[in-house]
Structure 1
Amino acid sequence: MSTDQRTYQRGRESVKITFIKCNVSSSTITLRYNTGQRVDFVALRDGREVWRWSDDQFFTQATGAVTLRPGECETYTATWDLRNKQGNYVAIDSFQIRGYNVARNFRDKFVSTTIRVTRRERPRPGDECPEGNLLDDPGIERWRNSTTPIVWNGENLFRTTISRSGQYAGELGATHNQPAILSQSANIASGRLYRVTFWARENVQPGRTADFTVEAEIRFYNERGGFVSRVDPVFRPQSIPNNRYQQYSFTTGLIPAGVERGDLRFVFRPRSNNDNTVKIDDVIFECVR
């Protein structure tokens, strides 16, 4: 097992883990598994587990087997964003990364390596903004099931095929009169200016009531996970087109000192008599300067 580096800047870099299991014997072997899971990765600080890769994964519950001929290998990869189980960045320290083959008779055996987490270097005057979208899966295409996205986080959501582009979009308000949220975090830097662009449409039920607001907010957090401030423009039904997508955009202003993470959140707030929903697609979170 290996990592792509030995030292990582917290809030800027992620750990890319590669785990290779090989049959070094002279005979064919068969590895048997209780579920669809084949490996697992764990990060520990002073012997205490702070992150486990499988916590955020979905595995089929069917048993399985893998057969390896002499000299044959299988490669697995994973990425750790240096956040702990609570979603906060880990401390500045050394961490042991363990890789497990979870086959029967191997579940408690592991190989390991050590990494060092350091503070993120502050951008210097004249440094250029990172290029591209800071979000993963901006089109909200990856879903575990009809109500649970894989990359984004959220509640009271529905996977809709009425998208602006791609196959899917996210629909807020699966239960029309209950709050909904769709969110994703990104690493940002103080002193920068960021822009959010997204497409939204109201899904109108003929003859029914539209009574809700949608907030497209960004919450700013420091390196310890403490809340610093937020930007939260509010959109009402009158400003969101019925049954067609429209583009919206806003900027953050200069990011306050000490901020290292921005949590982009679409918050759907209906009243009890609301019958309509809002679809979100093609979200961009980018550095302007």
Structure 2
Amino acid sequence: MAKIVFKHGKTSNNICVKLSGKDTIMTVDLSNITLKSPKGFVKPEIIAKNQIVYENLKGGRIKSYLSMGIQVSQFFSIVDQVLNITKYIIDNGLLLECLVKNIDYIFFDDENKVRMIYVPISHMAETEDMLWLLRYMADSAVLKNKSEIKELRDFKNCLSSLSAFDIDKIRKELPLYKNFLHELDEDEPTDLMDESTELMDDDKTDLADETETYIMNEFSEQVTGFPKLKRLSTNEVVYINKSVFRIGKDKNCVDYFIDNVAVSRSHADIIVRGTRCFIVDLKSKNKTYINDNVIPINTEYELHNDDVITLADEEFIINF
């Protein structure tokens, strides 16, 4: 399976996607990204039989930018750019699973533009969805103005209420979001790859010393580091992306909102400590059950892979 290799340089960064013998470059998708140079995409500079290289990545990782202290308007501008990139993929018949949705591979350049990586190869494994990415971005954002926290929380609750990624619903259901939409500026002209260019020989595209490279992960075995819950009534997957993750029906104080009258406002906390995971019932009215056994209130109960968690009458399966 393909691997992403991230190279730190003195003046810029490079990303190399190393292909396995089973991977095939999809030439139509490749031409779309290289010839049209759509806004928001990092253009591949070297295409070989065994690798695709994205060179001279300016700026820094978006994860660092989000954590440095920003205004909520800046956060929504970033979200808007990510949604525009996603919309381009959908509108042009490209494959959403080929968009790298790991926040460590999303960049924010010196012109305040989001840059994402599209890998036009077959056998790409979908490891994270767009809802997961947007939730993770929201959880990573540190706001300068604490009075804006409610706006960010409203956005997270909007995402939690969706059973599937839907750009129109995200923009329609959250009125505040519309106040912060920013159109992307036109990209500067770039040299286009000749459409007749053939794949280069492997020996002409060797990168620098491999020992200087940090291999991030493999797509097929990518690990987010988060346990996840599958809500059985909707098949929605919820990532436990905080050390203390609260579930309940009060939108103003929970990390995952359940619109169910049987569920308490703050029903339960899921606590992550390293590789172990626990659940605490917060004096809920209709109790918390693990594998059909009620658990005591205000007491940590350790969870294991494939445990069935029932909050009142809402069932989840947890996986690590």
Q: Tell me, yes or no, whether TM beats 0.5.
A: no
Greater per-residue strand proportion? 1
Higher helix fraction (1 or 2) = 2
Considering Cα pairs closer than 8 Å and 6+ residues apart, tell me whether 1 or 2 has the greater RCO. 1
